[in-house]
Structure 1
């Protein structure tokens, strides 16, 4: 509802979409609180809203904020992760409906990478190239039994055929399982 209302009639070159998901993190649950904190940093008085191209970020034709996917409300209804990943993907596709809207997705834990990349790949009609900057490859088949773990997002992306190429930069630790999974 709110997401669709926010899109009504506005033609922006990019849209912020929050995905406050944190339950797939194996350690701290703080990532769910990131979208509002990122917005605070973007819109705080000490930032410069002018871009190098002379565009103003506070111009709704340049950047609009369509709100958050209501993750906690959906989970409170007992929705399983398969369905939740679908809802996230569909939300990203909704943002992409109004050409030239481009989603700038604010997470959440790394598990949101899978439904976001899936949505972009499906919307664009084929696999995409990904530059992944991280210390970990996030390619476990299932981490601690969770196939949607923050440590499994790129395994889901690759097995779904949503990436044509994946370039991972900054990796500092990879397990034997990760090396084996990476070869697949």
Structure 2
């Protein structure tokens, strides 16, 4: 087998050189980046690692997010090395690699949660930053646990989602995709003075949902707020709320309107556009981003890769923020 030609800049091994190999061929790693195991064979490691968490046992409506990581990777083939939205070349600034998928027990939520935390800690033991592609939103809890342990303190959280995900239980179950941030608050792994939901909308079970959420310290920037206030004002509000705290970003793709992301588990009308989401991300440049996840992509409900492409581009902008931060540290 011939050696795969890759883009190499600043000593960093980048994606497959698409001027020599068609983007639709070869291994579907994220953005056609090298695999972590291949770098390790050469005695190298990665500054940013992309890991899949194919798990959806915590869902309450549509299943299928376990197939999300592979779908987002497939949809990321058209990503290119230079990001004009941030004026950065993330794959040249730092070494980025695809670490494959976690092996998670689909029949035992608590065991899967423990496995995710252990894997996240192992992958960041060398100081790497982790971007996780889910999977349902249950995976955010163990990832926040790991991020807090690495940071040595509770982390700030920006949670992009149509829903609060601070409910208590479903059918008596404490760990589901609707409860991760309530558990995280109870466990003290998130900073109660630096929390915000972004893009929320849709019906709730009652006003108590909002009261409970506020008691945990969350602020809310609704989808309607983004429409009326505009991206610039929203970014300023979020930056003021987060400050210099170590920051974790959790993105449920259902924060986007179903017109932009039909392939998701619990869609709600009246959501953000993909343009608004990317512009908000770009406005967070320079914040102390220590980890992120992109979850709830269901390829079985997707059309023409709309959801996968949105998730891939959102992941790319998160990677760009991480790379720029590390390169300028």
Name the TM-score class by shorter chain: 0.7 to 0.9
Aligned residues: 172
What SS does structure 2 have at the residue aligned with 1:97?
coil
What SS does structure 2 have at the residue aligned with 1:18?
strand
2:202 aligned with 1:169: no
Asked whether the 8 Å contact 1:141–1:181 carries over to 2, the reply is no
Candidates 55, 69, 75, aligned match of 1:35: 69
| 1:123 aligned partner | 150
What SS does structure 2 have at the residue aligned with 1:175?
coil
1:3-82 alignment, distance < 5 Å: 8=40, 9-42=43-76, 44=77, 46-51=78-83, 52-56=87-91, 62-71=95-104, 74-75=105-106, 80-82=108-110
- The 1:91–1:167 alpha-carbon spacing in structure 2 relative to 1, beyond 3 Å, is same
Asked whether the 8 Å contact 2:156–2:190 carries over to 1, the reply is yes
TM-superposed deviation, 1:5: 5.1
Asked whether the 8 Å contact 2:161–2:198 carries over to 1, the reply is yes
2:170 aligned with 1:143: yes
Deviations 1:96-137 (A, max 9, x none): 1112x1110001011111111111101211100001111110
- The 1:88–1:7 alpha-carbon spacing in structure 2 relative to 1, beyond 3 Å, is farther
| 1:133 aligned partner | 160
Higher relative contact order (CA 8 A, sep 6+): 1
Deviations 1:44-87 (A, max 9, x none): 1x321334323437x9x52111111112xx34xx6x32222111
Q: Which is greater in Rg? A: 2
Deviations 1:2-43 (A, max 9, x none): x9956734332210011011111111111110001111122x
Asked whether the 8 Å contact 1:111–1:152 carries over to 2, the reply is yes
What TM-score do the two structures reach when normalised by structure 1? 0.83
- The 1:23–1:6 alpha-carbon spacing in structure 2 relative to 1, beyond 3 Å, is farther
- The 1:50–1:90 alpha-carbon spacing in structure 2 relative to 1, beyond 3 Å, is same
| 2:9 aligned partner | none
- The 1:122–1:56 alpha-carbon spacing in structure 2 relative to 1, beyond 3 Å, is closer
Q: Which runs of 5+ in 1 are unaligned?
A: none
